[in-house]
């Protein structure tokens, strides 16, 4: 304990030391050394977790799982708690891996990948007549040594791909048959482990995480790919394009009317918004899952939604519930499809089924729900025109087709623009 405390104090002093006097090569060398120090400390943590598990400390202190005990003891989040548990398991019964981490040859993520690969090998080659238990153990040792050597050049995520076909490197004569059997087992295991998790909101963001099988993710990719292609002037990152595509696919599914009912009604996004009819101001917006939305988002959602006005008393009780009325009726929606042929924003290529019906004069500002006050916009451009600083304006031309007037930052002359992509069709 005294040694660890002394090292902690020394590391804290080093972390606070000024770095500007160091030369460039010294910065690089020090970064590598600091990484090795981090891994050595992480290896100590993993060994302590391993020992705590051997002694049954989590159960003694009322926790069913090691990760839950670590979260409580170290006050860490679920993901690092699970990762620390996996690192401890990787070093269990693998002294060669443990020593390689301590010697700085590999890090703990690489060790976890190697451990998982080696542990799976006996199952991969079981059932092959020419492989004895002795041969299987020898192949596993060769795989471990080979992957430790490769770890000098490959990070954990690339090493994992090598591990999927490690028999090609250590026992090529067995690789093809073992690979077929392994694929079948992996598919069955992936089907059991599949799942998607939505975290609690943090700073307005919800983390979406989970696991899908290879076939399932191919289906998802096939649906997202047409909506993810980069286009000129699109400054979104690849990850942002995928996120927007996922939402577009879900919005399309909600529009089809073919999803199962939810609580006796078609599945829908329900948002509660306070509204002052005197000032026509919207208050805060809350989804039926308790997540808060901004007033600008509420206005955008109200463009193409069913609205059920409900009058509340001062203490929140319902005094009167009005009729649900569709802001964009089926006939009006079809007329918008015929007129705009898709997102009407200049040169957007999104088809009608990917769009919202936007009020040119906002519904909350008294704008009517008719063809001359509505225009089709895809989710991205709908968000853009509602942004308070974007500066885009929409008006109908003499031919009753929408014109988009760009802000001065886009075009100093503010010349009206139209969608040429759809108009060419």
| Coil, strand or helix at 215 | helix
For residues 324 and 354, what is the distance between their CA atoms, to the nearest angstrom? 24
Higher pLDDT among residues 232 and 28, named by residue: 28
Label residue 130 by pLDDT band (50, 70, 90). low
**What phi and psi, each to the nearest 5 degrees, are found at residue 377?**
-140, 140
The answer to whether 359 touches 367, Cβ cutoff 8 Å, is: yes
- In angstroms, the CA 105 to CA 102 distance is 8
For the segment 110-121, the average pLDDT, to the nearest whole number, is 86
Query: For residue 278, what pLDDT is reported?
Result: 53
Question: Is the Cβ–Cβ distance between 189 and 181 less than 8 Å?
Answer: no
What are the φ/ψ torsions at residue 395 (nearest 5 degrees)? Answer: -145, 160
Helix crossing, 66-74 with 24-55: angle to 10°?
120
- The mean pLDDT of 152-175, rounded to a whole number, is 82
**Rounded mean pLDDT of 253-282?**
63
Q: State the pLDDT at residue 404.
A: 94
| pTM, entire model | 0.45
Q: How confident is the model at residue 416 (pLDDT cuts 50, 70, 90)?
A: very high
- Which residues does 206 contact at the CB level (< 8 Å), separation at least 6? 198, 199, 200, 291
Tell me the average pLDDT of the chain: 79
In the structure, what pLDDT confidence band is assigned to residue 326 with cuts at 50, 70 and 90? very low
User: Does residue 163 contact residue 112 with C-beta atoms inside 8 Å?
Assistant: no
Q: Identify the CA nearest to 425 among candidates 371, 325, 351, 361.
A: 351
pLDDT band, very low/low/confident/very high, at 322 (cuts 50, 70, 90): very low
Q: What is the pLDDT of residues 58-85, one digit of tens each?
A: 988 888 889 889 988 888 888 889 888 9
Q: How far apart are CA 187 and CA 213, in angstroms?
A: 7
Q: Dihedrals φ, ψ of 376, to 5°? A: -85, 130
Cα–Cα distances in Å, from 209 out to 47, 72, 79, 92, 143?
Answer: 28, 22, 11, 28, 31
**Which pLDDT value is given to residue 352?**
79
C-alpha to C-alpha distance for 76 and 231, rounded to whole angstroms? 41
Of the candidate ranges 86-95, 111-120, 167-176, the one whose mean pLDDT is the lowest: 167-176
Q: Quick one: average pLDDT of 241-259?
A: 82
pLDDT at 342: 84
Long-range contacts of 370-373 (CB under 8 A, 24+ apart): 370/332, 371/332, 371/335, 371/336, 371/339, 371/400, 372/396, 372/400
Q: Which residue has the higher pLDDT, 200 or 194?
A: 194
Give pLDDT, residue 120. 77
Residue 315's pLDDT band (cuts 50, 70, 90): very low
pLDDT digits (tens, 9 = 90+) for 205-227: 888 888 888 778 888 888 888 88
Q: CA nearest 340: which of 361, 383, 371, 380?
A: 371
Structural domains in the chain, CATH included, are 2-191 (no CATH), 208-256 (no CATH), 271-326 (no CATH), 330-423 (1.10.30)
Q: What is the mean pLDDT of the segment spanning 158-165?
A: 85
């Amino acid at each position: 304990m005294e040694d660890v405390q002394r090292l902690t104090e020394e590391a804290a002093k080093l972390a606070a030391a000024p770095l500007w006097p160091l030369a460039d090569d010294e910065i690089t060398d020090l970064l590598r050394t600091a990484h090795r120090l981090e891994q050595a400390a992480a290896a100590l943590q993993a060994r302590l977790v391993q020992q705590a598990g051997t002694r049954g400390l989590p159960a003694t202190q009322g926790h069913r799982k090691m990760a839950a005990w670590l979260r409580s003891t170290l006050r860490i989040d679920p993901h690092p708690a699970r990762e620390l548990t996996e690192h401890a398991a990787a070093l269990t019964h693998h002294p060669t891996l443990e020593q390689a981490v301590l010697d700085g040859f590999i890090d703990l993520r690489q060790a976890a990948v190697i451990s998982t690969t080696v542990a799976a090998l006996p199952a991969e080659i079981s059932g092959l007549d020419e492989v004895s238990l002795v041969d299987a153990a020898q192949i596993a040792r060769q795989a471990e040594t080979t992957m430790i050597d490769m770890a000098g050049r490959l990070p954990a995520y690339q090493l994992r791909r090598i591990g999927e076909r490690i028999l090609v490197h250590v026992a090529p004569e067995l690789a093809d048959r073992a690979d077929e059997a392994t694929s079948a087992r992996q598919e069955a295991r992936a089907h059991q482990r599949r799942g998607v998790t939505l975290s609690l909101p943090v700073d307005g963001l919800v983390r979406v995480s989970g696991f899908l099988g290879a076939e399932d993710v191919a289906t998802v990719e096939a649906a997202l790919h047409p909506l993810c292609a980069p286009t000129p002037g699109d400054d979104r990152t690849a990850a942002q394009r995928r996120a927007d595509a996922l939402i577009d696919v879900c919005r399309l599914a909600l529009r089809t009317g073919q999803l199962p009912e939810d609580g006796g009604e078609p599945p829908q996004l329900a948002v509660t918004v306070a509204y002052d009819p005197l000032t026509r101001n919207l208050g805060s917006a809350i989804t039926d899952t308790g997540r808060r939305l901004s007033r600008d988002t509420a206005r955008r959602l109200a463009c193409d939604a069913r609205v059920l006005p409900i009058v509340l008393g001062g203490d929140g009780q319902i005094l009167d519930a009005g009729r649900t009325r569709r802001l964009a009726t089926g006939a009006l929606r079809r007329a918008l499809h015929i007129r705009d042929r898709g997102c009407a924003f200049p040169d957007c290529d999104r088809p009608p089924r990917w769009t919202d019906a936007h009020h040119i004069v906002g519904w909350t500002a008294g704008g009517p729900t008719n063809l001359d006050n509505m225009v089709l916009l895809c989710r991205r451009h709908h968000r853009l025109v509602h942004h308070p600083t974007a500066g885009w304006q929409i008006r109908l031309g003499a031919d009753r087709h929408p014109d988009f007037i760009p802000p001065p930052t886009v075009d100093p002359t503010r010349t009206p623009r139209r969608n040429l992509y759809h108009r060419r069709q």
